[in-house]
Structure 1
Amino acid sequence: MSNRATGVEDARRRVTELIRDARICLLTTTAVDGRLVSRPMGLQAAEFDGDLWFFTYANSAKIRQIRVNPQVNVGFSDQRHHAWVSVAGTAAEEWDRERAERLWHPLLRTWFPDGPDTPGLTLLKVHAGAAEYWDSPGGAMVSLVGLARAAVTGQPPRPGENREVSY
């Protein structure tokens, strides 16, 4: 395996780790009038193989919006680790009872009271085209030291790792 292939696999693995740690994201769609609209969503599958899965209602604005324009962005922020991930991809409604049962978590009853049998329940699948992440190894203390050093020296802080990866 080439170093480039290893680097890509490492980057994909890091994206998966960061997404798994964050779990809550902002899903951005395009409204019919062209405005970008973001809303918080809870990721249902922690394993990221290029697809992200969410529960929603089939008659929701986000589903109507992706029917017109399936291009979306999913942004994750993990404040504990000072890491961020942006996933650009294509979204589609994709109901699959077996998958819904596999992804189901009891906390979802807050929004979907009848579980997987909730009328109008559907799955939203986002297939990643590319992801970019910003990772600050060492956490808050390293980031604060970097910001303090930048303030004293006038040089911008070193941002940690930033990588883009295609799927």
Structure 2
Amino acid sequence: MSTKNLYSTEAKEKIKQLAEAIDYAMLATNLKAQPFHTVPMSTKEVDEDGNIWFLSNKTSTHNANIEREKRAHLIYSDKGNYEFLSVYGRATIGSDRNKIKELYGSGDDAWFEGVDDPNITTIKVEPDDAHYWDTKNGKVISLLKMAGGAITGNEPDLGVQGNLEI
């Protein structure tokens, strides 16, 4: 696997591409504790600055953790395509009704009593450190390349990984 670090605009685009395509991330909060708290979250948006947005209940454990300590870690994993993203950053909770309406979708009705539910908040994660692993051809081709490499003894080109510097 080759290394390609991405910077600024390219890094933001890669975060957007992977986070929105994979959708679900494990959000880790209360990072100073062992074990830290994790919960699956659906990505609602990655904005032009590379910030990742979610909707959350204001009474949730992860919201309480973010109120105490702003650090959060997101882990995205698409094992079907061998695409992975790790984002560490600063999380903030918001209550802007316009932003909530912008992010809200019909699938959110499973968690909230409609877009006007007073318990809905946003969580914005501003990346400080990010790393990605991205195969060029998906899982099947990568497995074939690994098998070929095992037979020939040559290291297969399985894709690219690197740091994302915003």
Normalising by the residue count of structure 1, what TM-score does the alignment of the two structures yield? 0.84
Cα 1:110–1:120, aligned 2, differ >3 Å: closer, same or farther? same
State how far apart, in whole Å, the 2-side matches of 1:19 and 1:48 are: 13
Q: Which residue of 2 aligns with 1:140?
A: 139
Which structure shows the higher helix fraction? 1
Amino acid at match of 2:45: A
Q: Which residue of 1 aligns with 2:161?
A: 162
Amino acid at match of 1:49: D
Aligned pairs (5 A) from 1:61-80? 61-80=61-80
Q: Which residue of 2 aligns with 1:82?
A: 82
State how far apart, in whole Å, the 2-side matches of 1:54 and 1:12 are: 17
Gaps of 5+ in 2: 1-5
State how far apart, in whole Å, the 2-side matches of 1:74 and 1:48 are: 18
State how far apart, in whole Å, the 1-side matches of 2:155 and 2:29 are: 33
Question: What is the aligned length?
Answer: 160
CA offset at residue 159 of structure 1? 4.3
State how far apart, in whole Å, the 2-side matches of 1:24 and 1:48 are: 19
CA offset at residue 123 of structure 1? 1.1
> Relative contact order (alpha carbons < 8 A, sep ≥ 6): 1 or 2 greater?
2
Q: Give structure 1 regions of 4+ aligned residues with deviation exceeding 6 angstroms.
A: none
Secondary structure at the aligned position of 2:142 is classed as: helix
CA offset at residue 158 of structure 1? 4.5
Secondary structure at the aligned position of 1:35 is classed as: coil
CA offset at residue 146 of structure 1? 2.8
Gaps of 5+ in 1: 1-6
State how far apart, in whole Å, the 1-side matches of 2:138 and 2:99 are: 35
Percentage of identical aligned residues:
26
Q: Which residue of 1 aligns with 2:3?
A: none
